[in-house]
Amino acid sequence: MHINEQLQAAELRVELGDRSYPIWIGSKLVERLGELCLSKQLSTKSPMMIITDTHVEALHLSTAKQSLEAAGYRVAVHVVPAGESSKSLSHLEACITTALEAGLDRKSAVVALGGGVVGDLAGFVAASYMRGVRFIQVPTTILAHDSSVGGKVAVNHPLAKNIIGAFYQPEMVVYDTSTLLTLPLREVRAGLAEMLKHGLIWDQRFADWCLEHADELLSLREEVLQYGLYAGCAVKAQVVSKDEREQDLRAILNLGHTIGHALEAVGQYGELLHGEAISIGMIGSAMLAERLGEAADILPYTRRMIEAFGLPTQIPASYDTEDIMSAMMHDKKFSEGEMVFVVPTAIGKVEIRRDVPVALVREIVDELKGGARG
Ligand SMILES: NC(=O)c1ccc[n+]([C@@H]2O[C@H](COP(=O)([O-])OP(=O)(O)OC[C@H]3O[C@@H](n4cnc5c(N)ncnc54)[C@H](O)[C@@H]3O)[C@@H](O)[C@H]2O)c1
Ligand SMILES: O=C(O)C(=O)C[C@@H](O)[C@H](O)[C@H](O)COP(=O)(O)O
Ligand SMILES: [Zn+2]
């Protein structure tokens, strides 16, 4: 890990030319948010807006707000209900109403203080308000090591996940790992699912490290967590730097998401957490790999990983197979009449396949419901 001595935090960069930005990972960084915003020359003359949710409001908002105010910022706050349903057009409009009422102008910044829901929503607010204002990510979940990096911002439509959105990069990611210590266990597990994904798509050694450190990660040992988040963000930063707008390589970050997003939509964005849905999806992708003749260790390894972190491996029996298939057809990954699947070819390696027969996908979905094989 590269440590910045002055900040006592690990530092990574997302390299995107003149839009490159730092990711700071360390303890108690929210206390230094004001100082960090000044270092990015965010204007103190224009009001700023923090977007957060009800859970994070109670736990971490006052620290963030006080730090910004101490640095000379005027801060408006918009709080959305906790949970995926806040990634909606109606909440987007409500955020923009608050921004207008608070007098945010083109030099203002939007600060996302929260998990992936807040980050995706606030990012889309920043991208669309006055056609774009400055944007800072302050992730407070483990899952948000993925969502706060890379600039995919969006809200959901009842028929499809993340379907209304943009690519809009933040100017800085301030990842305070002490905020993670208040996360409920179910959210810890769900967040770690994306960390496992980063190992499975890119780096077998990191995947093995995750398995070896499952207990420490689940019990939130902060130094272990910091390393895991650093390594996960490093994978994400490298992929995004090579292919910001998902022309090709970036699609690998969607391992488990073809099935996972469909499960979230069928569960009406609430029954399954994102990390849970993609865990089932990653088992589905490993089953596909097996049927397509890829290495024999992929499915047992993936299953071992998902189980070690207490994540689900089966689709709830009440979910209708045809509803799941239909939700997959509305996904961004369905184009030119083809489904796109990220299929593992070894541990730490994947390929993008457009030739997976729909009948095989349906068979796997059915098995994931009944648990007959896999
Ligand atoms: N943009 C991207 O690249 C990207 C990547 C991955 C996931 N996502 C999106 O991220 C979303 C999921 O993110 P998430 O899992 O962080 O969900 P989330 O934002 O809903 O947070 C999960 C829960 O934890 C609570 N919470 C947040 N921080 C907390 C803290 N420090 N202590 C206690 N509770 C806290 C929240 O209030 C919420 O109830 C999904 O919408 C998914 O599609 C986006
Ligand atoms: O950043 C990416 O690219 C990803 O695919 C990361 C995913 O974990 C994330 O869930 C993303 O929002 C999915 O992207 P989408 O384009 O399929 O909505
Ligand atoms: Zn995801």
pLDDT at 370: 83
pLDDT reported for residue 374: 40
**Same domain for 190 and 164:** no
- The C-alpha atoms of residue 259 and residue 358 are separated, in whole angstroms, by 12
Separation CA 235–CA 7 (nearest Å):
23
Largest Cα–Cα distance in the chain?
62
pLDDT confidence of residue 272: 96
291 is catalytic: no
Phi, psi of 132 (to 5 degrees): 125, 115
For the question of residue 254 being annotated catalytic, the response is yes
Q: What is residue 41's three-state secondary structure? A: coil
| Ligand 1 within 6 A of CB of 83 | yes
Choose the final residue of a domain: 182, 206, 229.
182
Strand extents, DSSP E, 129-279: 134-139, 152-157, 160-167, 172-176
Question: 180 among the known binding-site residues?
Answer: yes
- Whether 80 and 86 have beta carbons less than 8 Å apart is answered as yes
Q: Same domain for 63 and 209?
A: no
Closest C-alpha to ligand 1, atom 13: 116
Cβ count within 10 A of residue 321: 15
In this predicted model, what pLDDT tens digit does every residue of 236-256 receive, in sequence order? 999 999 999 999 999 999 999
pLDDT score recorded for residue 371: 53
What is the domain extent for residue 251? 185-370
> 190 in ligand 1 pocket by Cβ < 6 Å?
yes
Residue 85 CA, chain-centre distance (Å), reads 16
Domain boundary (131, 158, 182) is at 182
Q: Could you say which residues of the chain have pLDDT below 50?
A: 372-374
- CATH number of 260's domain: 1.20.1090.10
Give the model's pLDDT for residue 160: 83
Check whether residue 286 and residue 169 sit in a common domain.
Answer: no
Total structural domains in the chain? 2
- Pair 67, 164 in one domain: yes
Question: Are residues 168 and 286 located together in one domain of the fold?
Answer: no
Ligand 2 atom 14: the closest Cα is on which residue? 254
Would strands 172-176 and 134-139 be described as parallel, antiparallel, or unpaired?
parallel
What CATH number is associated with residue 65?
Answer: 3.40.50.1970
For 43, other C-beta atoms within 10 Å of its C-beta total 16
173 and 189 together in one domain: no
Does the model's pTM come out above 0.95?
yes
The answer to the question of whether 52 is labelled as a binding residue is no
Q: Which of 65, 87, 250, 369 is catalytic?
A: 250
Q: Which residue's alpha carbon is at the smallest distance from atom 2 of ligand 2?
A: 253
Active site (annotated) includes residue 213: no
From the CA of 262, how far away is ligand 3's center (Å)?
Answer: 12
Does residue 85 sit in the same domain as residue 192? no
- Ligand 1: atom nearest CA of 120 is 1
190, 174: one domain = no
Do 150 and 234 lie in one domain? The reply is: no
One-letter amino acid for residue 183 of the chain: L
Question: Are 223 and 281 in a shared domain?
Answer: yes
> Is 274 marked within a binding site?
yes
CA pseudo-torsion sign 302, 305, 311, 312: positive
Q: Looking at the structure, do residues 202 and 270 belong to the same domain, yes or no?
A: yes
ipTM of the prediction greater than 0.95, yes or no? yes
pLDDT reported for residue 233: 98
DSSP assignment letter at 146: H
DSSP state of 44: S
Which one of the ligands is nearest to 81 CA?
1
Of 129, 160, 182, the residue at which a domain comes to its end is 182
145 as an active site residue: the answer is no
Tell me, yes or no, whether 134 and 203 share the same domain. no
